[in-house]
Structure 1
């Protein structure tokens, strides 16, 4: 078994952390005497892992210099590398173990917190060693320090797969070693049981991204026009333009830069060019966005709103994917009947519901008619995604059987792992 922190790393850190994070940050890399222990406590944990290993000083120093890009050498500052690590260990001493969490409270109900992944030391070690082996030639070519790969392997074995993996990523970044998309995806997959935030892998790593293609389904969560609607459902801060820019730039960690803007542009282009009436488009937007933004309050109609969204997408694509030329993917018409079947199945419940009933709301029956037109006349994929948003806006109770059907349909559309789970908070037991 491997030692894990009391809380997931992604809870404690939103970027790289520990010695690997220290290597990636500008400024001093000397311990601060008298530090109160607040800050990146993992620096101390990583320092202790190396101190407890049998790696000699020259190997630890080489490992640090490779990760740091040779910007800071503790030996050149008059300290031995072990004294330097001891300083960090003393600055961030090992904290007492925290009491494990058993329950979380959600809407006045107690739920058992899902178990965290169990890391098996040998499996994680072998997985990290395999990734080092896969980039060994590139590392040896890019890093001017001799034998850095054998030293990194030894660090994985003796100081731990967690630290070893983060140091591998940091060395790749420090020496601008490019990796292909398939290897990048493996890095992301390997990071998940370690419970890193995705920035530990993504930020600063040079990836050979494939061309932007809105037909690819690399996003785990919602995307496109349905995602924009969700972002405006609870709109409290910033301008509408700022919110649109956020959505257009919200590429999933597995997506080529510009993908979020491309798929959003495709959605709004199809809607704007569709035969749907302005009233129908307005109903669709208000229903999916939980009436969070009313275009008429900004002296525009819904088609002008679609044009504004499209322009923000084009701005983003000009910035990050200037070679991209919109070419809408074929519509998945073969799934239209299945989406319509699910719409008709909940029609009685929709007919008796209203979105925002106390504030110029949209009736569920009007929303259902608008969704049906999207499915038939625009795109069943988009219609299904907006259907999920309408269910969310209505807080529609779902049976387990219905949810299972939605999940299966989402998989056939290629939706991400967590996309349909937008509405899983409303599942009611079939018992």
Structure 2
């Protein structure tokens, strides 16, 4: 907190208290041009702990506020969408809580033997289904957000296909199964949406605002251009995958034109997929950039970055 202001000029207005049953802390993210994630300490027994009456948890069946959708599985709240001002979405996990890569970049890292035999469409769909259910369905929500971001973008299909092939080291090519890049993204979205609690598609949070911070976007592009020549060479000289040319340009397009957050994670996944050698200094700069996005350090590295200290 940087400051506290007493706004005596504001007219009285109704405010709401929200307590979530059986969660000690949770994240509230505002949606809009100035979206932020805020960790909230949750008192499960306000009456006993604070001496304030009239408090109820969602587990008691009451919530003070205009609750548009509450998704439940067991006693835990997965997604709660409130139409207050500003409109907020409550999720069980933020970026920082993931201890490995997540979303579209995370699942791309699973597209390798034995998870998915080479070019097996049924196994690919089964993997998406299984991953969408991970972490009580939170993984599927993040994956769905990433895929929706690409589908909502103006990127041509050939760029989406090449992007997918780059981050999976060509392990699964949807075009070999009669699917375009967008068809495959739509299929992933369908499989994720079907795993939303109670099958309620309306419970899926709206798309988060893309990262449009010019400083962050510039920093990610600088990293891509710094390693780009080595990444491009590795993708065409690899001995463990089908050679793939021109993989740097699609990554730059996602970063500059779609979402720097998603683009950065896909770039990291491509580095890991092709075992691109990087220096220890480069590794530290990637970790520092990940912290600016709010990632756990393990999301950036996962022990998979091919670090060669002698390159420094």
Cα distance in structure 1, aligned partners of 2:186 and 2:142? 15
Tell me the residue number matched to 1:179. Answer: 22
Cα distance in structure 2, aligned partners of 1:362 and 1:423? 24
Tell me the residue number matched to 2:150. Answer: 271
Alpha-carbon displacement from aligned partner over 1:73-103 (angstroms, at most 9, x marks no partner): xxxxxxxxxxxxxxxxxxxxxxxxxxxxxxx
Q: Does 1:373 align with 2:253?
A: yes
> Which of 213, 231, 253 lines up with 1:350 in the alignment?
231
Tell me the residue number matched to 2:132. Answer: 248
> Which of 325, 328, 332 lines up with 2:207 in the alignment?
328
Tell me the residue number matched to 1:416. Answer: 296
More strand by share: 2
Cα distance in structure 1, aligned partners of 2:188 and 2:157? 16
> Which of 181, 184, 189 lines up with 1:305 in the alignment?
184
The count of corresponding residues between Structure 1 and Structure 2 is: 228
The DSSP-based 3-state class of the residue aligned with 2:301 is helix
Q: Is the 8 A contact 1:374 1:382 kept in 2?
A: yes
Alpha-carbon displacement from aligned partner over 1:117-140 (angstroms, at most 9, x marks no partner): xxxxxxxxxxxxxxxxxxxxxxxx
Tell me the residue number matched to 1:64. Answer: none
Tell me the residue number matched to 1:230. Answer: 109
Tell me the residue number matched to 1:404. Answer: 284
The DSSP-based 3-state class of the residue aligned with 2:101 is coil
Larger C-alpha radius of gyration, 1 or 2?
1
Cα distance in structure 2, aligned partners of 1:384 and 1:405? 13
Deviation, 1:279, is: 1.0
Tell me the residue number matched to 2:243. Answer: 361
Taking a change above 3 Å as real, the CA distance of residues 418 and 285 of structure 1, as seen in their structure-2 partners, is: same
Cα distance in structure 2, aligned partners of 1:223 and 1:355? 26
Which has the bigger relative contact order, CA under 8 A and spacing at least 6? 2
> Which of 277, 284, 304 lines up with 2:163 in the alignment?
284
TM-score (norm 1): 0.49
Tell me the residue number matched to 2:307. Answer: 427
TM-score (norm 2): 0.66
For the aligned residue pairs, the C-alpha RMSD in angstroms reads: 2.7
The DSSP-based 3-state class of the residue aligned with 1:233 is coil
Tell me the residue number matched to 2:272. Answer: 392
Cα distance in structure 1, aligned partners of 2:146 and 2:258? 9
